[in-house]
Amino acid sequence: MEAGRFLEMGVLADIKGEPAADLLQKALGKLKESRHAMDALYAKFGDMRRIEQNNKALPEHTAALQRILKAYPPIERVSLTNSRFANVSQASGVAVNYGPIGDTYDEMLANMQSDLLIVEKEHDQAIEAFEAVLPTAKDGGFAAIVLSGRAPLPEKIMHSADQITVFLHSVDRACQASIAADMAVYPKGLEWIPKAGWRGDQPPGK
**To 5 degrees, how large is the angle CA 1–CA 99–CA 162?**
20
pTM metric for this prediction = 0.85
Instruction: Tell me the pLDDT of the chain (206 aa) as tens digits.
Output: 789 999 999 999 999 999 999 999 999 999 999 999 999 999 999 999 999 999 998 999 999 999 999 999 999 999 877 655 544 445 555 567 899 999 999 999 999 999 999 999 999 999 999 999 998 888 888 898 888 877 888 888 988 998 999 999 999 999 999 999 999 999 998 888 888 776 655 555 55
Q: Which H or E element spans position 20?
A: none
Range of the domain at 44: 2-188
Residue 200 within any structural domain of the chain: no
Q: Which residues lie closer than 8 Å to 53 by C-beta, 6 or more apart? A: 106
Residue 194 within any structural domain of the chain: no
Residue 41 within any structural domain of the chain: yes
Query: pLDDT tens digits, residue range 156-192?
Result: 898 899 899 999 999 999 999 999 999 999 999 888 8
Sign of CA dihedral 80, 117, 75, 126: negative
pLDDT of residue 158: 87
Domain count of the chain?
Answer: 1
Q: Name the DSSP letter for residue 64.
A: H
Residue 22 within any structural domain of the chain: yes
